[in-house]
Amino acid sequence: MVNHLQRTTEILGDLIAYPTVSVDSNFDMILHMAGLLEDAGARCDVISSPCGTKANLFATLGPDRNGGILLSGHSDVVPVTDQAWTRDPFVMDEADGRLYGRGSCDMKGFIAAALAMAPHFAERVAARPLHFAFTYDEEVGCMGARHLADELSERGLTPGVAIIGEPTEMRIIDGHKGCNEYTTRFNGLAGHGSLPDHGVNAVEYAVRYVNHLLGLKDALRERAPKDSPFDPPWTTVNVGALTGGVAHNVIAPSAEVEWEMRPVQPGDADFVKQSLQHYCETELLPRMRAVHPGAYITTEIIGEVAGLIPTDENEARRIMAELTGANSSDVVAFGTEAGIFQAMGTDVVVCGPGSIEQAHKADEYLAIEQLAQCLTMLESLGDRLCD
């Protein structure tokens, strides 16, 4: 295990050095990981994104057949802009039993562990294939995972079990809310601030839209399933940003609202979207177009990521319980790519090293002790591949 930990730490340092912020390309990191897996004997497929600047990596050890076990993680990280880092975020720094660096916890630590264990897996894999899936753009709507799921479906390949290595402190997570992100844009008519009736103030209508959205909170609380295991147990909405306008004395011609909701059940998402659409069509747009017929409101879907639904039968949960010795599972509020794989017909759990409390923050870190626990689990998984 000491050698596995040392090798994992080396790989993690290399991965952190790739600044795979979602707005940038991840190609160099994907090609580096593909090289490591090919050295271990894996069959690797680098799948370019539609825009051609990013890629997923899908690799397999063992027989070429349907099913198998999938180890999955996302390659992208969130920005470091305007964060008060005390060290270079893209140079791994080891101190006080921690490995610092952007992505160390979320989630390059798990990826590094999976890569380091690939030779161990290759020596033991038998009848059941072991897959690796490393995706792009999880942080901005799980774009890569959706692309990969479509690709695998076209090939007729559905993993039987998937382990998503997001930071859970190695707890077994078998449920989480969905995560739906939107940008709603308002186009009005500019004018002088002293003549408000001669223009259509897009910021004003954006504020009304936000007020209506926030007004749905009480209704969403009342819709919470009685047996909801989540905290909070209802679907939440959040307004992340409202921008628009050009100057104090100019009627704002445009504005946009960035918002999200985290559904506990699919019907809640429909409820929110239908309510907003009705409000726009019957209240906002008629008023806007009474002054300016060309006014409009549009909503862009940034990402609609399915939640992970807890099920009574879950082979992934059973396997992870055997590997970790845990006798229980839990749910979390944050979203992952797990629901995308579950929708394919795969049994899924989320389990990986580190705490979500460190993710997305300045001086992000992964405790070495957590990484060691992950390697112990993966080593046991490797021994299981002989069966």
Annotated catalytic sites, by residue?
76, 138
Distance CA 204, CA 189 (A): 12
Distance CA 24, CA 204 (A): 34
Distance CA 312, CA 294 (A): 53
Distance CA 288, CA 269 (A): 26
Both tokens assigned to 309: 């639904």
Strands 69-74 and 55-61: unpaired
Cis peptide, bond prior to residue 19, ω within 30 of zero = no
Of 321, 49, 287, 64, which Cα lies nearest the Cα of 172? 321
- DSSP character for 280? I
Distance CA 15, CA 372 (A): 18
Phi, psi of 230 (to 5 degrees): -90, 160
* Residue that has been written with the tokens 């290399």 in this structure: 14
> What ranges in the chain are assigned the alpha helix state H?
2-16, 27-39, 109-116, 118-124, 143-155, 202-215, 217-222, 266-279, 285-291, 315-324, 338-343, 368-384
Distance CA 194, CA 291 (A): 16
Q: In what order do the strands lie in the sheet with 236-244?
A: 236-244, 254-262, 179-187, 296-305
User: How are the residues of the chain apportioned to helix, strand and coil, as percentages rounded to the nearest 5?
Assistant: 35, 25, 40
